[in-house]
Amino acid sequence: MARIDDTSGLLIAPDPSAPRLTRPVTGTDHTGAEVALNVVEERPLTIFLNAQEIVTAMTIGDYPHYLALGFLRNQGMLLPDDRITGIDYDEELETVVVRTARQTSHEEKLQKKTRTSGCAVGTVFGDMMAGLEGITLPATPVRTSDLYALAATINRLPSLYLTAGAIHGTVLCQGDRPLVYMEDVGRHNAVDKIAGWMLSGGVGAEDKLLYTTGRLTSEMVIKTALMGIPVLASRSGFTAWGVEIAQQVGLTLIGRMKGQRFVCLSGQDRLIRDADPATVADEPAKAGRKGAA
């Protein structure tokens, strides 16, 4: 199901020119001059597991199969040994139905919801920590040369963010190579799409790194851990609970990656510092944030 993108070398790359993802809108700027912008589309997608309606998520609408699979897996509604018998997507009804050989019932779980800090109605059902018990991620080493190379490559790739903004990106990486780049209005949706892609293809996680443009919150850390990915990195910052959970499961957590600077708050002993930061082009600190990494 994956495709090779000839331009970027990614297995899946953003397609800013896709007609259903943006819409031209005309307005005026601060001077009163007329301006035309492409703005990101936002549409509902209702996910069913067998006959049970699970959630309606706001999404840009690409890769609904991966989003549904990844969401259900990360919520613990799909078990590792579940056999998927079908995935049906109806574009007109904006629904996707995932069917399994195992009979499922999640009414009790659906009654208990926790609204998370993620945008676009991120919702985790039941106990947010359920599923993390017993998880210990592999102590995969991380080369700082790979971190610098990934940041430089990803920040230059064509994307909806560069075209229209108002969107989050998440990239599955291996070593210094980006593999799959997903975008959505919610960073959790982008992560779930990658989880669905990995699940559908039986892709291993132990040698992977997940890069996100969003905050390193508890939900992002939990999803990454449940996917079995040992490293999570971001241009953005941390929440205390996100750091605490990362330390608990042995996730290497790296944030504030800008230019030659980054901060590692979990898994510092796994960093292999094989690159001289002085050789990396830096980004100027924002006003009022001098000295902040």
Question: Has residue 214 got a pLDDT over 70?
Answer: yes
Same domain for 215 and 272?
Answer: yes
Same domain for 167 and 195?
Answer: yes
What total of structural domains would you count in the chain? 2
Question: Has residue 167 got a pLDDT over 60?
Answer: yes
Question: Has residue 169 got a pLDDT over 90?
Answer: yes
Same domain for 99 and 188?
Answer: no
Average pLDDT, stretch 41-62? 93
Same domain for 164 and 216?
Answer: yes
- Domain membership of residue 20 (yes or no) is no
Q: In what order do the strands lie in the sheet with 231-234?
A: 177-184, 168-174, 208-212, 231-234, 252-258, 261-266
Same domain for 249 and 159?
Answer: yes
Same domain for 91 and 159?
Answer: no
Average pLDDT, stretch 237-251? 96
CATH at residue 51: 3.10.20.10
- Domain membership of residue 26 (yes or no) is no
- Domain membership of residue 200 (yes or no) is yes
Q: What is the pTM for the complete model shown? A: 0.88
Residue ending a domain, choose from 95, 125, 155: 125
**Distance (Å, rounded) from C-alpha 205 to C-alpha 227?**
7
Tell me, what's the pLDDT at 235? 93
**Distance (Å, rounded) from C-alpha 238 to C-alpha 76?**
25
CATH at residue 185: 3.40.140.10
- Tens digits of residue pLDDT in 228-241: 999 999 999 999 99
- Domain membership of residue 219 (yes or no) is yes
- Domain membership of residue 134 (yes or no) is no
Same domain for 154 and 97?
Answer: no
Mean pLDDT of the chain: 87
- Domain membership of residue 172 (yes or no) is yes
Average pLDDT, stretch 169-180? 96
Same domain for 62 and 189?
Answer: no
Question: Has residue 287 got a pLDDT over 50?
Answer: no
Q: Please give the biggest Cα pair distance in the chain.
A: 60
Our measurement of the distance from residue 279's CA atom to the centroid of its chain's CA atoms, rounded to an integer in Å, reads 29
- Tens digits of residue pLDDT in 96-149: 999 999 998 776 666 555 444 344 444 454 445 667 888 889 999 999 999 999
Same domain for 188 and 97?
Answer: no
Residue ending a domain, choose from 93, 125, 157: 125
* Bridge partner residues of 211 (DSSP): 171, 233
pLDDT bucket at 4, cuts 50 / 70 / 90: very low
Helices (H), the chain: 64-74, 107-111, 144-154, 160-164, 187-201, 218-226, 240-249
Same domain for 112 and 173?
Answer: no
Same domain for 274 and 146?
Answer: yes
- Domain membership of residue 25 (yes or no) is no
Between 120 and 285, name the one with better pLDDT: 285
* Full domain range(s) for residue 212: 142-279
- Domain membership of residue 74 (yes or no) is yes
**Distance (Å, rounded) from C-alpha 185 to C-alpha 211?**
16
Same domain for 160 and 274?
Answer: yes
**Distance (Å, rounded) from C-alpha 2 to C-alpha 197?**
8
User: Which CA distances in Å does 257 have to 134, 183, 238?
Assistant: 30, 19, 12
Angle at 17 between CA 12 and CA 23, to 5 degrees: 125
User: Which CA distances in Å does 5 have to 8, 35, 158, 207?
Assistant: 6, 32, 12, 22
Among residues 162, 140, 115, 131, the alpha carbon closest in space to that of 231 is found at 140
